Amino acid sequence: MAAIIELKNAGFSATEGRILQGVTVEFYEGRTTAIVGPSGGGKSTALKISAGLLVPDQGEVLYNGININTMNRSENLDFRRESAFVFQDSALWANQNLYQILELPLRIHYPQMTKDERTDRINAVTAEVGYRKDLRIRPALLSMGEQKLIGFARALLCNPTLLFLDEWTESLDEFSADRLVKIVKRKQKEGASILFVCHDMRIIKDIADYIVIIADGTVAFQETKEHILNDPELSNYLRMGMAL
């Protein structure tokens, strides 16, 4: 099994201080990895660095052996087309309507698509995530849960093979959350590589193959889900860490 994303001695600092320090971890192709740990421990930062959304001030991040932060334009476009990120806060542009937000990835990565083809694709993914309202409105008119659905739909548009999900079921009702979990399971069957941050043990038990525990800015432990959950001491450590 080959590593699709690799962090080598990665570190990151912000105004509040050091967030990550010396993180070395490999995420393998076709595997679903849960990144868990206490609040403020650095797990979302590690996810964003893995996706190339944040640049580490120490170490490097590799995608299929290529440093994400030194990619040329062609390599970067390929990486962006093949991957997608679902943000915890949805990160929808306030000055555009939902259709414009969803259309942009298709315009960038599939310029040959016609307007009708883009509309068909947008309608298909919004229906799949369960969004049924008008796409001509702006995000401010949506609930946080509805914004989450649009953010998830945006991530599906280009049929990515690598998904980064940050607290992706937060703010959703149980029915909507289960719908997105089913979509992730479909992506798993298609062979996608998935990295996700989540506090929901039910979801972790359901879909994760591997668990990486990040606490105090470092990798505290990493192992298969079965190994961690079948070891009472490690399982208790996991639950306590997530509750902090």
Q: What are 109-154's pLDDT values in tens digits?
A: 999 999 999 999 999 999 999 999 999 999 999 999 999 999 999 9
Q: Give the pLDDT of residue 148.
A: 96
Of 174, 135, 170, which is closest to residue 154 (Cα–Cα)? 135
Query: Which residue stretches of the chain have pLDDT < 70?
Result: 240-244
| pTM, 2 dp | 0.95
Tell me how far apart the terminal alpha carbons of the chain are, to the nearest angstrom.
34
Name all domains of the chain by residue range, CATH numbers in brackets: 3-243 (3.40.50.300)
Q: Give the pLDDT of residue 235.
A: 83
In single-letter form, the type of residue at position 32 comes to T
Q: Give the pLDDT of residue 241.
A: 60
Q: What is the DSSP string of 19-67?
A: EEEEEEEEEETT-EEEEE-STTSSHHHHHHHHTTSS--SEEEEEETTEE
Phi, psi of 169 (to 5 degrees): -105, 0
Of 212, 211, 214, which is closest to residue 21 (Cα–Cα)? 214
CA dist 98 and 75 (Å) reads: 28
Q: Count CB-CB contacts under 10 A for residue 38.
A: 18
